[in-house]
Structure 1
Amino acid sequence: MARRSTQAASEGTDKAKPVTSYDVAREAGVSQSAVSRYFTPGASVSARTRAKILKAVNKLGYQPNAIARSLITRRSSLVAVVVANLGFNPEFTSILGQSLSARGLNTLLFTLDHESDADHVIDQLWQYRVAGVVAAVTLPPRHVDMLSQREIPLVFVNRAYEEVPVNSVSCDQSEGERWLVDELCAAGHRRIAIVSGPEDSPVSRQRVSSAAERLANAGVKPVEIVVADFTYQGGREAMRKLAAGPARPDAIICANDMLAIGCMDEARHALGLRIPEDISIVGFDGSAPGQWASYDLVTIRQPTNLMVDAAIDMLMARIDDPQLITEKRVFSGELVRGASARLADT
């Protein structure tokens, strides 16, 4: 009786053990490397072998362990994506995650309240075996060097570096701001204000400086430049400040769409202004809320899908070959002619 009880306990323990790729290979009568290829996107597996493995997987209830596989192959499927919570287009993050998943990669997302907090992310990154990093924030040069020394590919989004060579994918911020300024000036606007994002945001700084420079070339000095958070509430507060000034603007250039939406709602609902008859408001990004009928925002739409594809292609090429030289790709945006501003031909 004691021996049968021991045997039963042993069988129960075996049944509780997780099924491994070795078990699948033995059941299917194939090599363990064939099982590994079966679960690797794009890997070559014959139809006959694939059918055997699938039958064994269904019979045994096997689920691949990505972490264990990365320890064996020394190649991770994790890509760290670092974004500033308040200052980055959320649609880009969503599309990036979907595109990485479609290529067999998983997203490890880091969100920061402010861009200046990015310094702390690297300390956390070392705790994970990541295949690469996509950063929509500015990292200190020493951390860029540390990632390079460890051969972890890094691609920046909308971040330009002069002092160190980096891989980057960007929308042409200066070109987009020139289009907006030219349209507003051609429509007769002369009292133009600018609503900036946080001072630690390089994207905001580039957009604001480009707009101010274009205005100067047109002989127009900004009525005022108001700094705000990259949020809806930040836009409302900025509109209140501009309205309380000595000379209310007849047009406002906002550093992103959410700021522009906040400005619009404050102007209409709190100040009783008509848009665009009394004041024109434009943004930048091409976010979905800006295109809702209530806003119909004039903005610059970033080519999100093209930028995502370029970032992933650039990253994967350097995962395969860390010695590739750095590369920068710049894409033009698209001027969206909405109803939030009086433009030259409207």
Structure 2
Amino acid sequence: MEKSSVNNNQKVAKPANHRATSYDVARLAGVSQSAVSRCFKAGASVSAKTRAKVMKAADELGYQPNAIARGLITRRSNIVAVITTEFTNLNYPEMMSHLNAKLSEHGVHILLFTVGAASDMRAVLDQIWQYQVDGIIAASQFSDDQIAQCRKRGIPLVFYNRVFSDSSISSVGCDHFEGAKLLVEHLLSRGHKRFAVYSGPNDSAVAQERLQGAVTQLKQAGAHFDVYQGDYTYDSAAASTVEMMSSARELPQAVICANDIMAIGCIDTLRAKFGLRIPEDLSVVGFDGIAASKWQAYDLTTIVQPLERMVEATVSMLMERIEDSSIPAEKRQFGGKLNIGLSA
């Protein structure tokens, strides 16, 4: 009868359906299980040598930490809900990139929701409650009742680019009112006296702040102006431009747009449909400082929002309140920078 022998140094293959655990990694790497856990925890202290051994063993075993299991232990989902609107501007993809990078430093992931009408918010929040998120970053409007629901569930809420007068609400925003005033001051300094103002959506607090800032400064200067309703979109600016050109008794000298997308829509329409030159025949300004505003075809005069600083403040405020719910609400407001381009 033949005898079989096993080489003690030979690795015994695990069943195909076996998932490696942190204990398997620890045995193969020759370290403690807690050392393995620290290697996969954002910001945890671990030596480079230990990390290298653990990562090598994890790669060999095909190991990945189980976020769901870890959440059951820590009572955290490590998920933050981010809510934006359908009227989001081109600043938001850049904002989301910064936001994702900053939250990743804390080992936190984003669950993104987009709302259209205010009535959609209820359905979105119903979904958010099911995911047991650790916090919410909202770049959209909430009703008082919806804010109260977050408090009732103990979910920290920070508004991005929204500033509320209620002292119990945390928010980070740009000073839209003063930014719009800066734009008007610049145009007045260029000798402009007749203006058109393209507003954003009526239900957008940000749009209304920008409108009021521009109107306040124009009235103070005794300038003539007409307001045209828009909704932050390229098409609405094109439509407003056609309306302005067909209805104005006298051509304005400058157009103040609620955002950069509208400014670009205005410029394209003035050039293509009416053959006007920018800024020789008409000055056009925007707000936000999106990447397209720097393109040679536009080179917008605009207010540039300090995105990185605003995102950093938003994440910092939210994470502090996730760690300690007793921290009182806070508001941070940042000034925008006037970028003088060739459009005005």
Unmatched runs of 5 consecutive residues or more in structure 2: 1-11
Q: Measure, in 2, the Cα distance between the counterparts of 1:114 and 1:242.
A: 28
User: Contact 1:256/1:284 (CA < 8 Å) preserved in 2?
Assistant: yes
- Structure 1 position 208 matched with structure 2 position 211: yes
Where does residue 229 of structure 1 map in the other structure?
231
Q: Measure, in 1, the Cα distance between the counterparts of 2:120 and 2:167.
A: 20
Shift in alpha-carbon separation, 1:102–1:207, aligned structure 2, 3 A: same
SS at match of 2:16: helix
Shift in alpha-carbon separation, 1:15–1:191, aligned structure 2, 3 A: same
1:183 is displaced (CA, Å) by: 1.3
Where does residue 288 of structure 2 map in the other structure?
285
- Among 122, 125, 130, the residue aligned to 1:127: 130
Q: Measure, in 1, the Cα distance between the counterparts of 2:334 and 2:182.
A: 15
Q: Give the aligned residue type for 2:302.
A: T
Where does residue 316 of structure 2 map in the other structure?
313
Q: Give the aligned residue type for 1:273.
A: L
- Structure 1 position 67 matched with structure 2 position 68: yes
- Structure 1 position 302 matched with structure 2 position 305: yes
- Structure 1 position 97 matched with structure 2 position 108: no
Shift in alpha-carbon separation, 1:67–1:31, aligned structure 2, 3 A: same
User: Contact 1:87/1:201 (CA < 8 Å) preserved in 2?
Assistant: no
Where does residue 272 of structure 2 map in the other structure?
269
1:14 is displaced (CA, Å) by: 3.2
Q: Measure, in 2, the Cα distance between the counterparts of 1:221 and 1:196.
A: 16
1:285-344 per-residue CA deviation (whole Å, 9 max, x = no partner) reads 000001100000010000011111111111111111111011111111100101111xxx
Identity between Structure 1 and Structure 2 (%): 48
User: Contact 1:84/1:113 (CA < 8 Å) preserved in 2?
Assistant: yes
1:156 is displaced (CA, Å) by: 0.7
Q: Measure, in 2, the Cα distance between the counterparts of 1:271 and 1:23.
A: 72
1:208-265 per-residue CA deviation (whole Å, 9 max, x = no partner) reads 011111111111242x211122111221111111111133322111110000000000
**Residue correspondence of structure 1 range 1-346 to structure 2 within 5 A:** 14-47=15-48, 49-88=50-89, 89-90=91-92, 91-114=94-117, 117-163=120-166, 165-222=168-225, 224-247=226-249, 248-341=251-344
1:53 is displaced (CA, Å) by: 2.5
How many residue pairs get matched? 330
1:57 is displaced (CA, Å) by: 0.8
Q: Measure, in 1, the Cα distance between the counterparts of 2:103 and 2:70.
A: 18
User: Contact 1:194/1:226 (CA < 8 Å) preserved in 2?
Assistant: yes
SS at match of 1:82: strand
SS at match of 1:15: coil
Q: Measure, in 2, the Cα distance between the counterparts of 1:32 and 1:18.
A: 16
Q: Measure, in 1, the Cα distance between the counterparts of 2:204 and 2:123.
A: 16
1:36 is displaced (CA, Å) by: 2.2
User: Contact 1:84/1:115 (CA < 8 Å) preserved in 2?
Assistant: no
Q: Measure, in 2, the Cα distance between the counterparts of 1:50 and 1:183.
A: 55
User: Contact 1:141/1:164 (CA < 8 Å) preserved in 2?
Assistant: no
Q: Measure, in 2, the Cα distance between the counterparts of 1:37 and 1:189.
A: 62
User: Contact 2:158/2:171 (CA < 8 Å) preserved in 1?
Assistant: yes
User: Contact 1:285/1:299 (CA < 8 Å) preserved in 2?
Assistant: yes
Mean CA deviation greater in 128-137 or 114-123: 114-123
Q: Measure, in 1, the Cα distance between the counterparts of 2:291 and 2:244.
A: 26
1:171-194 per-residue CA deviation (whole Å, 9 max, x = no partner) reads 111111111111112222122111
Unmatched runs of 5 consecutive residues or more in structure 1: 1-10, 342-346
SS at match of 1:16: coil
SS at match of 1:329: strand
User: Contact 1:115/1:201 (CA < 8 Å) preserved in 2?
Assistant: no
SS at match of 2:261: helix
Shift in alpha-carbon separation, 1:119–1:193, aligned structure 2, 3 A: farther
Shift in alpha-carbon separation, 1:73–1:140, aligned structure 2, 3 A: same
Shift in alpha-carbon separation, 1:268–1:298, aligned structure 2, 3 A: same
User: Contact 2:163/2:331 (CA < 8 Å) preserved in 1?
Assistant: no
